[in-house]
Amino acid sequence: MEIFGFFSILISISAIFAYFNHRYLRLPTAIGLMVLGLLMSVIILIINIFIPTVEQKVEVVLREIDFSAFLLDTILCFLLFAGSLHVKLPMLFSLKKQIASYATLGVLISTFLIGGLIYYIFPLFGLQVSFITCLLFGALISPTDPIAVLGILTKANVPKKVETEIVGESLFNDGTGVVAFLTILQIIQSKGQEIQTSQIALLILEEVGGGLLLGFALGYIGYWLLKSIDHYQTEVLITLALVMGGYSLAQEIHFSGPLAMVVAGLFIGNKGRMSAMSDVTEEYVDKFWELIDEILNALLFVLIGLEFLLIPFEISYVVAGLAAVFVVLFARVVAVGIPLYIFNPKEKNNGKTLILLTWGGLRGGISVALALLAYNKVPEGSFLIVATYVVVLFSIIFQGLTIERLIKKLNI
């Protein structure tokens, strides 16, 4: 099937699901679309019992698109830029120490804690998984997903301070998580060859430092161009070029594209909004990126639901994945609890904030994409995908649907 035909089908399915969800289910859009995608997968499996060729035909269509490439190399830049456009820098700067510690130290603590715990827990379920693969799982599941967070959490009436902490963390922790993931994957693929500390340091410098600098440069260039004219059509086009051209450049020079998009989005959404856009331009830029965000989110979460058909499920893997849910939540408590109590030792609401930070740390499509990326590169690839999928489903559906109720119960 040609790429246009595939996306025509995907857009059509997304539109039907979005209508059905808005008309009948009334769930948050991301959750509703993913649930309907899962339901469609289950229906296809049931039909396949009577018509054995149905599942195979659907799988052939789904395999024509590389989910990892679709998310990480194609739509992630749009979603991150659109999300960061509406994050207010003053609030972000007021919480910079907490957010920076969650996005760096917190991710590393979570990676090693999850890896270590599941290495000793999984043998209880008859699974022998190497320690380095357990660490790889810890690295890909530790970062909170900015797409899931922005799509669900920001509409759940979370207290503004806590929302900023979680959203800010999710926008920046991908850099740390991806570097940790790539480093561990490189160690696995090296098959015993020594990995120099200098190589890891260079990777961190290139990915994180380069991404931040490139994002600042792109934001400033975009700001200067927007300020020099007043023509909303051209200005919207400039922001689109900034994202597509900037992300392509980041990939070419091996800088962190996600971090570059976040910094550029923050720059345009704050400084650009204040002094480089007219009211008309601001309105059109906001509406344009809101639509881009909604459409691509719809495609992403429908695909997550449909990818269920491609997951090699085994009972032992599913049970281990359920155990991993509790391990991931425990690691989240430790990873955000340490920085929280260091920077807010006298805050009386620390206990309630910790609960919200833990429950609001949603995992999503990025973790699935990284697991699929590692599928054919590590011996226990099937385990990685199943365990990741179970954790992501629990996170988006159960945590996403209950976060607002939890807020009311905590009475913050």
Burial degree of 101 (CB within 10 A; 0-12, 13-18, 19+) = buried
Among 155, 183, 184, residue whose Cα is nearest residue 167: 155
**Quick one: what percent of the chain has pLDDT higher than 70?**
97
Q: What is the pTM of this model?
A: 0.91
* Torsion angle of C-alpha atoms 50, 51, 57, 58, degrees rounded to 10: -30
pLDDT value for 193:
64
pLDDT value for 195:
62
Q: pLDDT digit string (tens) for 346-396?
A: 777 788 999 999 999 999 999 999 998 888 788 888 889 999 999 999 999
pLDDT value for 196:
66
pLDDT value for 114:
97
pLDDT value for 344:
81
Q: pLDDT digit string (tens) for 172-201?
A: 988 788 888 988 888 888 766 666 666 777
Q: Which residues contact 218 (CB under 8 A, 6 or more apart)?
A: 242, 246, 260, 263, 264, 267
Q: pLDDT digit string (tens) for 313-337?
A: 888 889 999 999 999 999 999 999 9
Q: State the Cα–Cα distance between residues 242 and 239, nearest whole angstrom.
A: 5
Domains of the chain: 3-63 (no CATH), 67-410 (1.20.1530.20)
